Structure 1
Amino acid sequence: MKHKYQINGISCGGCVTRVRKTLEAHPAIEKAEIFLSPKGKTIISMNKKLTVEELQGQLNKLDGYTITEII
């Protein structure tokens, strides 16, 4: 199942790579697609729905990124 999010703090391709690898390290996340245009738009494919708090916990392994769900 795919869900849409906004990740704040994304500013370059290096950010995209770091954040994608960190998110995809979570066992419930199959794939994270992060875009620079519009900046920070993210589509995450999961095998079970994670809460925004769980996703933020995974992102907290990096500094300076926050995630919100797009409804």
Structure 2
Amino acid sequence: MKRKYYISGIGCGGCIARIKKTLEAHPAIEETKVYLNPKGATVIRMKEKLSIDELQKQLNSIEGFTIEKMN
């Protein structure tokens, strides 16, 4: 299943690489796409639905990023 999110705190391609690597380390996440345009737009493909809290907990291993659901 694919879900759309917004991640704040992204400033460059290096940030995107770190976020992608961190999120994809979670066993339930198959693929992560993070975009600079629009900045912070993110699509995550998961094997099972993860809550925002679970995704944020995964992101907390790298400081400075906050995830929220896109409408």
Q: TM-score range by the shorter chain?
A: over 0.9
Question: The residue matched to 2:63 in structure 1 has which SS?
Answer: coil
With normalisation by structure 1, the TM-score equals 0.99
Residue 5 (structure 1) shift? 0.1
Where do 1:27-66 residues align within 5 Å? Answer: 27-66=27-66
TM-score by length of 2: 0.99
Question: Moved runs in structure 1, 4+ residues, more than 6 A?
Answer: none
Structure 2 counterpart SS, 1:7? strand
Structure 1, unpaired ranges of 5+: none
Aligned residues: 71
Q: Percent identity?
A: 56
What do you get for the CA RMSD once the two structures are aligned?
Answer: 0.4
Give the structure 1 partner of residue 25 of structure 2: 25
Gaps of 5+ in 2: none
